[in-house]
Amino acid sequence: MSQLTTNYLTPTGREEAWRFTPLKKLSGIHDLEVSVADNISLFAKSDLPKGVSLTTPNTSDHPPAYAASDIVTNRVRKEAKKTTLITIADNTEIAEPIFLKRKCGPTAEVSRAVIQVGVNSRATVVIENNGAGKLGEEIEISLAAGSSLNFITLQEWDLNSVHLAQHHAIIGKDAQFNSYVVSIGGSTVRISPTVEYTGMGASAEMYGVYFATDEQHLEHRIHVNHSVPNTKSRVNYKGALAGKGAHTVWIGDVYINKGAEGTDTYELNRNLLLTDGARADSVPNLEIETGEIVGAGHASTTGRFDDEQLFYLQSRGIPADIARRLVIRGFFAEIISKLKSEEIEERLMNRIESELSRVGE
Amino acid sequence: MSVLEIKNLQVSVITEAGNKEILRGVDLTIKSGETHAIMGPNGSGKSTLAYSIAGHPKYLITGGSVTLDGNDVLEMSVDERAKAGLFLAMQYPVEVPGVSVSNFLRTAVTAIRGEAPKVRTWVGEVKEAMASLNIDTAFSERNVNEGFSGGEKKRHEILQMELLRPKIAILDETDSGLDVDALRIVSEGVNRVKANSDLGVMLITHYTRILRYIKPDFVHVFANGKIVEEGGPELADKLEEQGYAAYITA
Ligand SMILES: Nc1ncnc2c1ncn2[C@@H]1O[C@H](COP(=O)(O)OP(=O)(O)OP(=O)(O)O)[C@@H](O)[C@H]1O
Ligand SMILES: [Mg+2]
């Protein structure tokens, strides 16, 4: 965008884009003075189905398809010599999810990936980010006309991991992009899911779930750019926080440009504070430059855990810890159930519950 | 045979402006099989009594005692009270988003009975209980009380009572907001549980209507934080005619 002056300099924390992020905890991923390793860290978890390929060509052969404003994204582009390229051929329907796993090295590193979904194809890609890692990454996703992609990233990192990422989707005519960002692990996680539209009838649904405990910083910066007519976006992020120093940030920037008549957008962020000492920042931002739209709205709420619900459940004999879990599960269910995978759902809820039981220790 | 004994119970409500005294020495004993109607003006403290027995955290017990079969209820956590056999049908049942009725019922019954109900018999048990209370089975998949009408919430409270099989149930204005048919259906539900399990009932109400279906053994007049008169069913008729004026002396 327009802030070139700061974009390619190490952020100081005074920049609007960095004012919430604890720079000291980033292991230098953002700091041009600190060197970063260039590793391939993304791998297919099992054999890829027919029509899907994963290769690692030179980044110079797959240059960025959009201009990035994020310092880390630009750094990744500069440092990553190889790009992990995942392609889904035209007219291909992959029923089973394609699972990708992450394996990071011991020091700060970068990763660049490009996912290309062919014309009229449908697929689900799941990236499991777990273990230890200090990762700066960019994932560029392009959806050709009439295609559909469920893109799921699970941040189930170990306690001390750091992850800064941009997921940028370029959505073609009548294509459907569904993004699910789940962030539970890691000491500092900052994900920027951003989308742009290149054809009419393109649509994005962006869902997120995050759960922050003691001293954890989880930040999600959504950016939706409606620039062509008749496109749609739905954003719904839900977060829960527990413990001292737990901090979440949700930024929801939606732009409806002059030419984007017929835009239909709604964004929502809800935060649930389970204990004192946690902080949820939520900043929805909607800018509209044309009056000819179908609908545009946003909502943001941050509330405390409802003791009345807890009392009601307990008064039916349900012990406090199980009651609390039921309510938290219920809070997240709306989104997690959309993943349509009982296995992932169970795993995430178990992780959330084990994080919860550790709070304040 | 169970006995709930409330002796000289004094309770304040905890508010931001400080604690406010509500119950000023309540004495009441309820035994298995007995039905005690509690009637009294708005704001006299009836719900406070009900919530205090159930253990709601916004009330502070400042004096007196509550025991169930000799065990100190006030020492128990909220869920322990339910496990001990107390049940409160609330005046304003709480919505719990994201928690389905079926999950909620199964979790509650598992906690109270100490083991998960057998899948086979459980499904039938719930269906039958729902049918007898005229609750559509579609409610199983809805979230607890979310979007339920006033009357649906009340029926759902009695459904829980049927499945949890308490020893003593406190029904706080369960009849308010029920249409004529629902009142009969809910009353039949209460009478069914009474017949099957010798339930003791504290029935808080403003209307004699429900007392035509659920016959009280005792009627207590509640005013200004305590019981001010006691009698048989005839006392309810007298209240309906004369109101509470005689009991409200500032
Ligand atoms: N948070 C609070 N702050 C101040 N007063 C309170 C608070 N909570 C309850 N009270 C007061 O306690 C009193 C008793 O309330 P309670 O709900 O027990 O009455 P009730 O007899 O059940 O009335 P009703 O017949 O209307 O249901 C009322 O005067 C009420 O305003
Ligand atoms: Mg009341």
pLDDT in tens, B222-236: 999 999 999 999 999
ipTM of the complex: 0.96
Mutation target among A308, A316, A349, A352 for the B interface, most CBs of B within 10 A: A316
Strands, E assignment, chain A: 37-38, 42-44, 52-55, 84-88, 98-102, 109-117, 122-131, 134-143, 148-157, 162-171, 176-183, 188-197, 203-212, 217-226, 232-241, 247-256, 264-273, 279-288, 295-304
CATH number, domain at B212? 3.40.50.300
* AA letter at B206: H
Query: Does the beta carbon of B21 sit less than 6 angstroms from any atom of ligand 1?
Result: no
| Cβ-based contacts under 8 A for chains A and B | 83
In angstroms, the separation between the Cα of residue A332 and the nearest Cα of chain B is 8
Q: In terms of CA atoms, which chain B residue is nearest residue A325?
A: B99
Number of neighbours of residue A13 by Cβ within 10 angstroms:
12
Phi and psi at residue B89, to the nearest 5°:
-85, 115
Question: How far apart are the two ends of chain B, measured CA to CA in Å?
Answer: 40
Position in ligand 1 atom list of the atom nearest CA B91: 27
Whether residue B250 is contained in a domain is answered as no
With a cut of 80, say whether residue A1 has pLDDT above it.
no
Cα B22 to ligand 2 centroid, rounded to whole Å? 12
Query: Does the beta carbon of B13 sit less than 6 angstroms from any atom of ligand 1?
Result: yes
Distances (CA, A) of B10 to A67, A315, B18, B31: 70, 21, 16, 21
**Residues A82 and A60 sit within 8 Å (Cβ to Cβ):** no
Report the pLDDT value the prediction gives residue A6, as an integer from 0 to 100.
43
Whether residue B95 is contained in a domain is answered as yes
Domain boundaries, chain A: 16-305
With a cut of 90, say whether residue B85 has pLDDT above it.
yes
**Residues B32 and B199 sit within 8 Å (Cβ to Cβ):** yes
**Residues B225 and B27 sit within 8 Å (Cβ to Cβ):** no
Chain A residues within 8 A of B103 when measuring between CB atoms:
326
Q: Which H or E run contains A324?
A: helix A320-336
**Residues A153 and A220 sit within 8 Å (Cβ to Cβ):** no
Is any Cβ of chain A less than 8 angstroms from the Cβ of B55? yes
Band (pLDDT 50/70/90 cuts) for residue A361 is low
Give chain B's domain count: 1
In angstroms, the separation between the Cα of residue B122 and the nearest Cα of chain A is 17
Whether residue B111 is contained in a domain is answered as yes
pLDDT, tens digit, 9 for 90 and up, residues B93-136: 999 988 999 999 999 999 999 999 998 899 999 999 999 999 99
Domain that holds residue B112: 1-245
- Pick the closest to residue B194 from B231, B169, B172 (CA basis): B169
Relative to beta strand B3-15, strand A109-117 is unpaired
- Pick the closest to residue A298 from A308, A285, A316, A309 (CA basis): A285
Chain B residues within 8 A of A306 when measuring between CB atoms:
94
What's this model's pTM, rounded to 2 decimal places?
Answer: 0.83
Query: Does the beta carbon of B22 sit less than 6 angstroms from any atom of ligand 1?
Result: yes
In angstroms, the separation between the Cα of residue A269 and the nearest Cα of chain B is 16
Of A316, A326, A334, the CB nearest to B160: A316
pLDDT, tens digit, 9 for 90 and up, residues B145-199: 999 999 999 999 999 999 999 999 999 999 998 999 999 999 999 999 999 999 9
Whether residue B168 is contained in a domain is answered as yes
